[in-house]
Amino acid sequence: MKSFLFGPFVFLLLSSTASGLGSVVSRFYVYNKSYYTWQEAQTYCRSFHTDLAILLELSDGDQMVMEQYDAWTGLHRSGESTEADDWKWSAGSKLLYSEWALDEPNSTDRCAYVHYDSRKFYRADCQEYYYFICHYVWDNGWSPRFITLSKTWSDAREHCRKYYRDLMYYPTASHLKNVNRINFPVWIGLHRDGDTWKWSTGSSDFRRWSSSTAADNGDCAFIYSSNKKMATRNCYERLPFICVDDNVLLVKESKTWEEALEHCRGLASSASSQPQYDLLSVQPGEDHHYIMGKAMKADTEELWVGLRFLAGHWLWVTGADMLYTDLPECPLEGSHCGALTKTNMTIMETRDCTEKKNFLCYKTENV
């Protein structure tokens, strides 16, 4: 390991075999099975994560785990008692077995949903929105019909009685094995802005419509939980949703490269008083593409990243591997710092380190 002193800062030069650092950008998806409108989902994701999910390529869908769901059944309680044996099915028969989740029923709520994959009942306010399961009867038997429309309990019952028989009735606990994995819609960040489709955060041309008309039914897009294909619905409908979370922070303060480095390293996470950030290292390809979505929100046309020319080499200050191949071997005097530019989505620019720009930090504890 070698170190270089530049002003008040010491930079460590790590060989790629020693550091083993490729990408320092951490991006992952967080699924929420609550039923929100698209705008509510966007607000939630921006408050607790980064934003509603963006997909850059097909493999991103493989990282999305969205099997869990809650669905109304016909189970409800019409009286004021909180006793478990007062629960009945929508058609009127009593619940004759106990498949409640731990500590349920434990409130005054009077309607019940079933959870996949525990196949247990939970109590909820009847005015909440969930997908629901209808009880379909024909001459030789019956079967469940999973409906991927979110409704209140009474509206779900009305729908089932209109098109099937009633909300779902499970005669015995063994019938709950029919609560299976379903391919249901989940909000993502793609939405229509005028005549064009845009992501809530970032930029991506990735589309995987489930049919030729899948983009014609609304202004907000969803992804199916299992096959990961996309379609649209009206934005006011309530669906589960998936957020994207990353470890990158855009700082909208104009600083020199050294000041930006000092700022990042001076940041501390909420869990520790020790600095756990650094000036961002980014690799060409998907990482660069994703980071440019953040760069476009900057107040300056260019942004500093952790690239520096020292001792005849272009180095990432984090020790990450250098994968850009188009950087000048002998840059102009003063142009010894790396920057991203909004006018080119694929390359790294070299700039005078004393120029003042916005910059990108990353949280090292997530790598």
Tens of pLDDT, residues 39-68: 999 999 999 999 999 999 999 999 999 999
Which CATH architecture fits 27-66+183-245?
Roll (3.10)
Half-sphere CA count of 202, side-chain side, radius 13 A: 25
Mean pLDDT of the residues in the chain: 88
Q: Taking the domain 2-26+247-366, which CATH number applies?
A: 3.10.100.10
d(CA 135, CA 347): 57
DSSP letter for each residue of 38-96: HHHHHHHHHHHSSEE----SHHHHHT-----EEEEEEEE--SS---GGG-B-TTSPBP-
Alpha helices in the chain (DSSP H): 16-19, 38-48, 58-62, 153-163, 257-266, 286-295
Domain ranges of the chain: 2-26+247-366, 27-66+183-245, 69-178
Whether 52 contacts 244, CB under 8 Å: yes
Whether 184 contacts 68, CB under 8 Å: no
Q: Is the pLDDT of residue 4 over 80?
A: no
Block residue for tokens 């997530």 = 366
* pLDDT tens figures, 8-48: 444 433 322 223 466 789 999 999 999 999 999 999 999 99
Whether 359 contacts 279, CB under 8 Å: yes
Least confidently predicted of 6-15, 195-204, 281-290: 6-15
* pLDDT tens figures, 67-110: 999 999 999 987 655 555 689 999 889 988 889 998 887 778 89
* pLDDT tens figures, 166-180: 999 999 999 999 899
Cα–Cα distances in angstroms (integers) from residue 230 to residues 33, 221, 349, in the given order? 18, 7, 36
The maximal CA–CA distance of the chain, rounded, in angstroms, is: 86
d(CA 114, CA 116): 7
159, amino acid identity: H
pLDDT for residue 14: 31
Whether 299 contacts 335, CB under 8 Å: no
Q: At the top level of CATH, which class does the domain 69-178 belong to? A: alpha beta
Do the domains at 2-26+247-366 and 27-66+183-245 have one common CATH topology?
yes
